[in-house]
A = this chain, B = another copy of it.
């Protein structure tokens, strides 16, 4: 019973190794340059061995995305219990987003590939389901905080806005700014040298605009986010490989 488990462990490890080698190629060079041939050469294994792990190239991409989304989910879970005050819990989620997109920039960028329909459609439903689950659980965590705030009387949702729609706004502004920052040819020359701070300010303005209690000033907001950021950074220190 010892021998098979060792072999299985080796196989598991190789699967991780494949993903580890594939990630930077997909990120830095794109989908086409990520070829099975090249991967096999880097692995110093035969091409066929790759296909014992993943039935096709697309599944590798999805597996990468799943790894990334699971990390983000863990960060969200950790953030969601970082305080008892709903507004602060949302700030902690914001800090998790920042940490994820900045210090796990690779993971963040990988997630984008599942939005490619060609890749999505060629992959197995098993992996597709995993991804949908991750997304759903992230959303649940955050919308749960909103509902909690409403229940505590910290926040009133007006104009028929649902908790999920409110979250969607924060999601969009964070996601959009990160993509733009990562890919816009010239954000700095456009007059936006410090995009993350700008986004923090917008989130702060939004929260106050919604009347979410307790409202502090922007300095408090920044201080809180930095604190939560440090907290998460410690918890996930071993996974923050970038930068």
* A167-207 interface (Cβ within 8 A of B): 168-169, 171-177, 179-180, 183-187, 189-192, 194-195, 197-199, 201-202, 205-206
Smallest Cβ distance from A212 to chain B, in angstroms? Answer: 10
Chain A contact residues: over half helix, strand or loop, or mixed? Answer: helix
In Å, the complex CA distance between A135 and B184 comes to 9
Contact indicator B117/A198 (Cβ below 8 Å): no
Contact indicator B28/A117 (Cβ below 8 Å): yes
In Å, the complex CA distance between A33 and B122 comes to 14
In Å, the complex CA distance between A114 and B179 comes to 12
> Given contacts A135-B184, A176-B176, A180-B175, is CB(A198)–CB(B30) below 8 Å?
no
Q: A92 an interface residue at 8 Å Cβ cutoff?
A: no
Contact indicator B205/A210 (Cβ below 8 Å): yes
Q: List residues of A whose CB falls within 8 A of some B CB.
A: 28-30, 32-33, 114-118, 120, 128, 131-132, 135-136, 139, 143, 158-159, 161-166, 168-169, 171-177, 179-180, 183-187, 189-192, 194-195, 197-199, 201-202, 205-206, 208-210, 218
Given contacts A30-B117, A161-B201, A179-B179, 9 further A-B contacts (CB under 8 A): A29-B117, A158-B218, A166-B198, A168-B177, A172-B180, A172-B199, A173-B202, A176-B179, A209-B209
